[in-house]
Structure formats: structure tokens, C-alpha cells
């Protein structure tokens, strides 16, 4: 029983998975914020390109 408790306390697989999930969510939020921030200028650029074609 004691070795089971020690093994569970030292296992960091779950913590690593949570860290990766947090990093992925922060990157996703940053991408969404960047798209929302640049939405107007990107729309104008695409419209200008479409009109040129």
C-alpha cells in the first residue's frame, strides 16, 4: 500500500498533460485575439485583392 501511495505521488504524467492543455488553450486564445484585432485590416486587404483580380 505504501509503495502505491509513493508511486502515485511521484507520477507526473497527469501534470504534464494539464500543462500541455493549458499551453494549447493560451495559444488558441492568443490566435483568436489576434484574428479579432486584425479582422478589419485583413478584410480590407482581401477585398482590395479581390477587386484587383
Q: Give the cell for residue 27.
A: 495559444
CA 8-11-13 angle, to 5 degrees, is 130
Which position has the higher pLDDT, 34 or 3?
Answer: 34
Residue 31 pLDDT greater than 70, yes or no:
yes
The model's confidence at residue 22, banded by pLDDT at 50, 70 and 90, is very high
Instruction: Compute the mean pLDDT over every residue in the chain, rounded to the nearest whole number.
Output: 84
What is residue 28's predicted lDDT score, i.e. its pLDDT?
98
What is residue 17's predicted lDDT score, i.e. its pLDDT?
83
Q: How far apart are CA 38 and CA 45, in angstroms?
A: 11
Strands (E) across the chain are located at none
Residue 23 pLDDT greater than 90, yes or no:
yes
Amino acid at each position: 500500500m505504501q509503495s502505491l501511495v509513493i508511486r502515485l505521488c511521484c507520477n507526473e504524467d497527469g501534470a504534464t498533460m494539464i500543462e500541455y492543455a493549458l499551453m494549447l488553450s493560451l495559444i488558441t486564445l492568443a490566435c483568436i485575439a489576434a484574428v479579432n484585432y486584425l479582422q478589419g485590416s485583413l478584410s480590407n486587404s482581401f477585398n482590395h485583392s479581390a477587386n484587383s483580380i
